[in-house]
């Protein structure tokens, strides 16, 4: 079945460092891909998404490109801030008729130190 | 402009008791999803409901778990005769077909079974 695999955390970086969180997926068909972020004590928020191959999603300095040839959707940010500390989830939606049914990776905790 | 509201935020039950988790979707949203997050794992889809209808319950355990979304009032996820393995965070998300297609998550209800 469909699945999402993320790099294990925690990822610890200093402020202004470059961030990459790897995400790969397996799916039949052409899924939409998402990154969600969960700040401490809060619910998940959509960070960015891409709905077809070669699309780039971007938001708040974060970017991810839908790579069909490598089945990947890696999250990147050029310069992280302490306020980016959170858990990041990669997810896919395989069904056009049930787009809220997402398959999530296990989450990657990011800790940014001043 | 309230978001998705879940209560209780924390619930402690002893084995064999019942747990009821409530979710009020965002205003104007008539579709609700429930997800479960076991410790150290990603979120797993449980059930998708419209008002007065269960659309997809393929992720619900076959026994002890039920969900409803009545015409009036919140959606309720009910777990009967809880066991320690039910300890998890339960997230609700709401969705509007006429909107952006984005899922909006609540802050979650954390169930602990003693």
When pLDDT is averaged across residues B42-68 and rounded to a whole number, the result is: 94
Q: Three-state SS string across chain B, please?
A: CCCCEEECCEEEECCCCCEEEEEECCCCCCEEEEEEECCCCCEEEEEEEECCEEEECCCCCCCCEEEECCCCCCEEEEECCCCHHHCEEEEEEEECCCCCCCCEECCCEEEEEC
Counting residues of chain B whose pLDDT is more than 70, the rounded percentage is 94
Subunit contact A44:B3, Cβ cutoff 8 A: no
Confidence of residue A42 (pLDDT cuts 50, 70, 90): confident
When pLDDT is averaged across residues B58-62 and rounded to a whole number, the result is: 93
Confidence of residue A43 (pLDDT cuts 50, 70, 90): confident
- The total of other beta-carbon atoms located within 10 Å of residue A55's CB is 14
Confidence of residue B53 (pLDDT cuts 50, 70, 90): very high
* Whether the predicted pLDDT of A101 surpasses 90: no
Mean pLDDT in chain A? Answer: 92
Subunit contact B48:A46, Cβ cutoff 8 A: no
Reference A85, options A22, A24, A30, A12; nearest CA is: A12
Confidence of residue B10 (pLDDT cuts 50, 70, 90): very high
* Whether the predicted pLDDT of A97 surpasses 70: no
Quick: pLDDT tens for A55-96: 999 999 999 999 999 999 999 999 999 999 999 999 998 766
A106 membership: H or E segment, kind and range: none
| Token pair recorded at residue B107 | 């802050």
Quick: pLDDT tens for A16-31: 999 999 999 999 888 8
pLDDT at B90: 97
Q: Is A34 helix (H, G, I), strand (E, B) or coil?
A: strand
When pLDDT is averaged across residues B35-54 and rounded to a whole number, the result is: 91
Comparing CB atoms, the residue among A99, A103, A105 nearest residue B101 is: A99
Can you give the C-alpha Rg of chain B in angstroms? 13
Cis-peptide, bond into residue A98, ω within 30° of zero: no
pLDDT at B29: 87
Chain A residues touching B47 at Cβ < 8 A? none
Q: Which residues contact B104 (CB under 8 A, 6 or more apart)?
A: B3, B4, B25, B26, B29, B93, B94, B95
When pLDDT is averaged across residues A3-22 and rounded to a whole number, the result is: 94
Contact A19, A106 (CB under 8 A): no
What count of CB pairs under 8 Å joins A to B?
Answer: 50
CA A67 vs CA A32, A88, A95, B92: distances in Å: 11, 19, 19, 30
* Whether the predicted pLDDT of A12 surpasses 60: yes
| Token pair recorded at residue B52 | 């007065």
* Whether the predicted pLDDT of A41 surpasses 70: yes
Quick: pLDDT tens for B15-30: 999 999 999 999 888 8
pLDDT at B102: 77
pLDDT at A63: 98
What are A3's strand-pairing partners? A26
Subunit contact A105:B95, Cβ cutoff 8 A: no
């Amino acid at each position: 079945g469909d699945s999402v695999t993320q790099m294990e955390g925690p990822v610890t970086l200093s402020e202004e460092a470059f961030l990459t969180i790897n995400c790969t997926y397996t799916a039949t068909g052409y899924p939409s891909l998402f990154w969600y972020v969960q700040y401490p004590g809060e619910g998940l928020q959509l960070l960015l998404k891409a709905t077809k191959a070669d699309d780039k999603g971007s938001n708040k300095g974060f970017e991810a490109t839908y790579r069909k040839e490598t089945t990947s959707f890696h999250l990147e940010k050029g310069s992280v801030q302490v306020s980016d500390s959170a858990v990041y989830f990669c997810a896919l939606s395989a069904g056009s008729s049930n787009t809220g049914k997402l398959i999530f990776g296990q989450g990657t905790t990011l800790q940014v130190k001043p | 402009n309230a978001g998705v509201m879940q209560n209780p935020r924390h619930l402690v039950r002893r084995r064999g008791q019942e747990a009821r988790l409530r979710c009020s979707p965002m205003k104007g949203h008539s579709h609700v999803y429930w997800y479960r997050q076991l410790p150290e794992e990603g979120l797993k889809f449980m059930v998708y409901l419209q008002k007065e209808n269960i659309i997809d319950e393929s992720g619900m355990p076959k026994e002890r778990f039920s969900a409803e979304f009545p015409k009036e009032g919140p959606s309720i996820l009910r777990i009967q005769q809880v066991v320690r393995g039910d300890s998890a965070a339960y997230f609700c998300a709401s969705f509007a077909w006429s909107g952006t297609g984005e899922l909006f998550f609540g802050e979650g209800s954390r169930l602990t079974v003693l």
